[in-house]
Structure 1
Amino acid sequence: MNQVLFQRQFALSYENIANIRRVLDVKTQALLLTPDLIQDIKLVCSEYCTNLLDHQQQSATHCTISYGKVEGQYRFAITDNGAPWAALAQQLSDAALPELPCESGMGLAIIKTIFPDFSYQVTTGGNTIEFALPQASSRKHLVIVDDSHSQLAMLCSYLEQDYQVSIFSQADDALVWLDDNHCDLVLTDLWMPNINGLEFRRLVANKRQHRLLPFVFLSGDTLSETMTAVSQSGIDDFLTKPIDKWRLLQVLERVLKRHDNLLSAFEDNLLQQFEHTAMPGSKAAATTTLTTGNFRLLLSREPEISGDFFIHQPRPDGSTMVILGDLMGHGVIAKANGGISYGVILGLLQDPDITPEQFCRRLNQYLYQTQANNLVCLLVLHLATDNTITLYNAGMPKPIHCTNSCHHIDQSSGLLGLFESPQTGGYRMKLDEGHSLHGYSDGLLETVLTEHERQDMVLMPSSERHQYLWQRTPQNHEDDRALFTLTTIPEMGHIAENNE
């Protein structure tokens, strides 16, 4: 994975598999995965870990579960420290579900059925299986609530070809689901036992994340008193039963389009305000050059108002803290959330004695305790006066280190704020003249460089590597992108590196 968003090590035992499932259930919700995908990941993890315990010649004692991106595609991986399982890949490829139900022996077939695109590698000290996750659907997601099972079945048959659909026969079940999930519109019966449609809409509107969620009501009740109550509630539309399929599709398309237009207008207005109150250093420019101690730093960023942010903070002891951040998500809302994280980070950096590890732990504590709905990827560097660089990667793509070879630094703790105590680990290095370190956001590069590209970069002067990376994907303007390059001022350093 070029970008690790979640990574956690677990003791591997039969007793702990249930705990692993519980952790995955909570943390994958925080990562905004869909309920169906969460269930699939938990099931595959349980089946695979059970197979490790049952069939490895020397069973693993620990496994590390990771989630992140490779070439823009999300992946899920399990690494274990047991004996190599040479036949596993072939057994998985050959696995098939039995024609008749049975009680055992289906683990590998279940795994292959859920995630058929996988790879298995034996590496020093461990084995890794990595699954390619299905691409997220671009279809709008509807929640349908009706106490009539026949009505639910009919609505599903009308809508499931064009929309993702979640159905509920009771409004209180839908309320629980909406606590942790997103949808684009609610289609609900008006008169239901326990909670009627009007009360259901009021309860949903009390949830901050669903305050503007559009509602369409269904009912066979067309009495004037009912119609008055419905119109006064401010709903988006009302359809009388029996439901006509083509009329239903037209109404949903119109309501969703109107809702999207309102959100776009709101974001445009908010973006205009950002343009007057942008974060310091947030404006794009031709490559900016900074000098700090014995290091020269080149910085390029776009667009002008960006969810990516960069902080360059000199410290009283002559060292410098450098932070590149990237708010997950796109659009103005991600940029607004970025302002919150940016302010918290600046506040932590006011402590002149804070170390990079302390910074990561304190920011993790804030994000964990507040359960902030703004997932932020960070690359944190401490540039010491003796030319030592200590690097912490919390969810950013792997930085590139060019010496007499060029390689990605394969060390990440995953996003901060997911766990009470992060599993942090620093990477320590020194740069010699002509060598360089490159950090970037996924808007610039979503995959590792090819061997040919790495060889080309080694042959380039360090001053040209930055521009090469920046112009590598000039057509990519769908995401915020940022790149910084660190080099040493001539005659200032020598090369040595090790893992801290």
Structure 2
Amino acid sequence: MVSVVQDICRPATLGKVSDTRKRLGQTLKQRGVADHLSNKIQLCFSEAAANLLEHTEPHPTFIAVSLECVDGLWLLHIDDDGESWDPTLANRVKSLDTFEEKEGGRGLALIHSLTDGLEYTKRTTFGENRLTLKWSIQQVATKPSVLVVEDDDSQRRLISAYLSEHFKVSEASNGQDALQFLMNNNVDLVISDIRMPGMDGLDLKKALHNQTNTLLTPFIFLTYADSQEIRDNAMGLGIDDYILKPVTKSALVQSARRVLHRSEQIYRQLTDKVNHRITNALTPSLPTESRQWQIAFATRNTGIGGGDLILHRDTDDFLMINMVDIMGHDVAAKFFSYAYGGYLRGLMYHVDDTDDPCGTLLSRLSDCAMDDNLLSQVILTCCSVALYDDAKFSMATAGHPAPIKVSEEGAALMNVGGIMPGVLYGADYDTLTTTLKSGERIAMYTDGLFEAADSPESRQTLEKAVMRELENTLALPVTEAVQHVIQVFDNYGDWHRDDATIMLLEYADPVLD
């Protein structure tokens, strides 16, 4: 057992919880935990702790947290001295009766969906409640994997011995066995002899060209064969190195490292290009005006990870706009953004025949996030709004920050919320339908706008500054106002931490002749 984090929130406040979540994230990053798992652990801790503070009576005076790595599991223990409550009971999961659904659309159901197991111990008279959340640890090889293909037993054992200190080595005695192995296993490098009975090294390399998963696998020939014809044939197959036997350990290891390093460089370059192209494709494009609605947005893109999407469709009856936040900080998350963007565009073309386009779209999106093997691998939030004539609009959110209404009375969060997509089958979303008065506007944004702050205190400062700027720029056109607001974000936040997007909507009364 390895204890990773031990911390205590005393007094039990949301600010203390935020500090502990930050420490969890930093520690998990230092331990090399993948972003998607780190996000799950941090999110589940925040939801459990926040709901303990907001929805139990009596409230806990402290919340203690410890994170352990034991027997192939991450264990997150959350102890408190408040009201005893068992989230593992079946009726709790079904009814969501203790965790508030509209609190960011998350809570108990989210915790169940993002963990591999839960345990709860009720406190005694002088004891503590303990909620334990579990995640399985996927074992990942720490050494690059190499397949050695050599028909001579002694040579194969010698080459494997040379490489075993620095690489995870597998062996095959001929090309056919090697091909069969590679159809079922991924390796980082193949080192093969050329002259072998049956399928020789040249035929093996040709066969790998015909398989998608091995087409780009780095390949080294290690052989006694040294005729110009064989060299030309080998080089024509796009190998990465050609080494003559006998070879020393240092020369072999150096060649393997050089080839793997070059392969990694190429991979990074390709990844950066794909990332750049997808990022450009996801850049929002919105009309500045539709149905007398004035629209403006500003965004800060870190260039990594899932990011923010804004999609729109103008129908005969309304303009629909969807703001989506895809969580994650790697190129896979960027791909999921692209995939979800395509899926959402399709959904937006199939809500015309309903009186509740926003709620219907989010319900269908949630079922997709639950059922689809590809899209279920990512966490996202969404805010959907339909803008009608005569200043009418309808709005629904799924795990997304509540929009802000700005008026002469000030800036205030709107009373709209819903559960995060993919948490429950058949999730329903309440829709807010109302009319925007003259002199009012709506601000929709992703949570990166405020998550850019690096402490609870700086977040409060950032939030107050943004709200104040929304109020101060109410008389400006939305195109100017949104730039003022994002400038506040630039001044107070660290936009390298997460993508941030803000959009302003305002209804402009037609000019009467």
TM range (shorter): 0.5 to 0.7
Relative distance call for 1:263 and 1:173 in structure 2 (3 A) is: closer
Deviation at 1:456, TM superposition (A): 5.5
**Hey, what does 2:468 align to over in structure 1?**
461
CA deviations over 1:34-77 (Å, ceiling 9, x no partner)? xxxxxx999538x99xxxxxxxx98945699xxxxxxxxxxx74
1:294–1:488 CA contact under 8 A, matched in 2: yes
Relative distance call for 1:488 and 1:4 in structure 2 (3 A) is: farther
**Hey, what does 2:17 align to over in structure 1?**
none
Determine which of 192, 207, 212 is the counterpart of 1:208.
212
1:388–1:428 CA contact under 8 A, matched in 2: yes
Is residue 484 from structure 1 mapped to residue 492 from structure 2 by the alignment? no
Relative distance call for 1:258 and 1:489 in structure 2 (3 A) is: same
CA deviations over 1:409-467 (Å, ceiling 9, x no partner)? 8943459xxxxx9675647668996985521569x947896266236624732617654
Deviation at 1:298, TM superposition (A): 3.2
Relative distance call for 1:196 and 1:158 in structure 2 (3 A) is: farther
Separation in structure 2 between the aligned mates of residue 364 and residue 426 of structure 1, nearest angstrom: 10
2:118–2:132 CA contact under 8 A, matched in 1: yes
Kindly provide the amino acid, as one letter, of the partner of residue 461 in structure 1. Answer: R
Deviation at 1:176, TM superposition (A): 0.8
1:237–1:251 CA contact under 8 A, matched in 2: yes
Separation in structure 1 between the aligned mates of residue 312 and residue 157 of structure 2, nearest angstrom: 61
Deviation at 1:248, TM superposition (A): 2.2
Deviation at 1:144, TM superposition (A): 2.7
Deviation at 1:150, TM superposition (A): 3.5
Kindly provide the amino acid, as one letter, of the partner of residue 208 in structure 1. Answer: T
Relative distance call for 1:133 and 1:350 in structure 2 (3 A) is: same
Name the % identity: 17
CA deviations over 1:345-403 (Å, ceiling 9, x no partner)? 4344233347456546767898999976997765432224665421235xxxx636667
Determine which of 128, 141, 161 is the counterpart of 1:154.
161
- Aligned runs of 1:155-234 on 2, under 5 Å? 155-160=162-167, 165=168, 167-169=170-172, 171=178, 172-178=180-186, 184-188=188-192, 190=194, 197-219=201-223, 221-222=224-225, 224=227, 227=231, 229-234=233-238
Separation in structure 2 between the aligned mates of residue 302 and residue 451 of structure 1, nearest angstrom: 24
Determine which of 130, 141, 154 is the counterpart of 2:144.
141
Determine which of 375, 384, 387 is the counterpart of 1:382.
384
Higher Cα radius of gyration: 2
Relative distance call for 1:439 and 1:192 in structure 2 (3 A) is: farther
CA deviations over 1:196-253 (Å, ceiling 9, x no partner)? 544544444334354222212334x426476565344331113344442321233234
Is residue 44 from structure 1 mapped to residue 50 from structure 2 by the alignment? no
**Hey, what does 1:236 align to over in structure 2?**
240
Kindly provide the amino acid, as one letter, of the partner of residue 349 in structure 2. Answer: Q
Separation in structure 1 between the aligned mates of residue 116 and residue 398 of structure 2, nearest angstrom: 22
1:323–1:378 CA contact under 8 A, matched in 2: no
Relative distance call for 1:142 and 1:447 in structure 2 (3 A) is: farther
Relative distance call for 1:315 and 1:136 in structure 2 (3 A) is: farther
Kindly provide the amino acid, as one letter, of the partner of residue 483 in structure 1. Answer: T
2:221–2:241 CA contact under 8 A, matched in 1: yes
Separation in structure 2 between the aligned mates of residue 280 and residue 191 of structure 1, nearest angstrom: 50
Deviation at 1:313, TM superposition (A): 2.7
Kindly provide the amino acid, as one letter, of the partner of residue 170 in structure 2. Answer: I
Three-state SS of the structure 2 residue aligned to 1:313 is strand
Three-state SS of the structure 2 residue aligned to 1:208 is coil
**Hey, what does 2:345 align to over in structure 1?**
346
2:366–2:422 CA contact under 8 A, matched in 1: no
Deviation at 1:300, TM superposition (A): 1.6
- Give the structure-2-normalised TM-score: 0.51
- Aligned runs of 1:58-457 on 2, under 5 Å? 60-61=88-89, 77-78=115-116, 80=118, 82-84=120-122, 127-129=131-133, 141-146=144-149, 150-151=157-158, 153-160=160-167, 165=168, 167-169=170-172, 171=178, 172-178=180-186, 184-188=188-192, 190=194, 197-219=201-223, 221-222=224-225, 224=227, 227=231, 229-259=233-263, 279=281, 281-282=283-284, 298-302=297-301, 308=307, 309-318=309-318, 320-324=320-324, 326=326, 342-351=341-350, 352-353=352-353, 355-356=357-358, 359=361, 378-384=380-386, 387-393=393-399, 399=401, 411-413=419-421, 424=427, 426=429, 437-440=444-447, 445=451, 450=456, 453-454=459-460, 457=463
2:220–2:243 CA contact under 8 A, matched in 1: yes
**Hey, what does 2:60 align to over in structure 1?**
none
CA deviations over 1:145-182 (Å, ceiling 9, x no partner)? 3476734652444424xxxx46355633343123xxxx
Separation in structure 1 between the aligned mates of residue 143 and residue 293 of structure 2, nearest angstrom: 52
1:382–1:391 CA contact under 8 A, matched in 2: yes
Kindly provide the amino acid, as one letter, of the partner of residue 313 in structure 1. Answer: R
1:406–1:458 CA contact under 8 A, matched in 2: no
Relative distance call for 1:465 and 1:79 in structure 2 (3 A) is: farther
Separation in structure 1 between the aligned mates of residue 376 and residue 220 of structure 2, nearest angstrom: 30
Three-state SS of the structure 1 residue aligned to 2:216 is coil
Kindly provide the amino acid, as one letter, of the partner of residue 476 in structure 1. Answer: H
2:300–2:501 CA contact under 8 A, matched in 1: yes
Kindly provide the amino acid, as one letter, of the partner of residue 141 in structure 1. Answer: P
TM-align CA RMSD? 6.1
Relative distance call for 1:445 and 1:456 in structure 2 (3 A) is: closer
1:434–1:461 CA contact under 8 A, matched in 2: no
Three-state SS of the structure 1 residue aligned to 2:446 is strand
The count of corresponding residues between Structure 1 and Structure 2 is 379
Separation in structure 1 between the aligned mates of residue 494 and residue 506 of structure 2, nearest angstrom: 27
Relative distance call for 1:330 and 1:343 in structure 2 (3 A) is: same
Relative distance call for 1:422 and 1:159 in structure 2 (3 A) is: farther
Separation in structure 2 between the aligned mates of residue 240 and residue 407 of structure 1, nearest angstrom: 73
Kindly provide the amino acid, as one letter, of the partner of residue 252 in structure 1. Answer: A
Three-state SS of the structure 2 residue aligned to 1:217 is strand
Separation in structure 2 between the aligned mates of residue 133 and residue 470 of structure 1, nearest angstrom: 38
Relative distance call for 1:475 and 1:439 in structure 2 (3 A) is: closer
Kindly provide the amino acid, as one letter, of the partner of residue 320 in structure 2. Answer: T
- Consecutive unaligned residues of structure 1, counting only runs of 5 or more, are 8-39, 49-56, 65-75, 91-120, 416-420, 492-500
Separation in structure 1 between the aligned mates of residue 363 and residue 378 of structure 2, nearest angstrom: 14
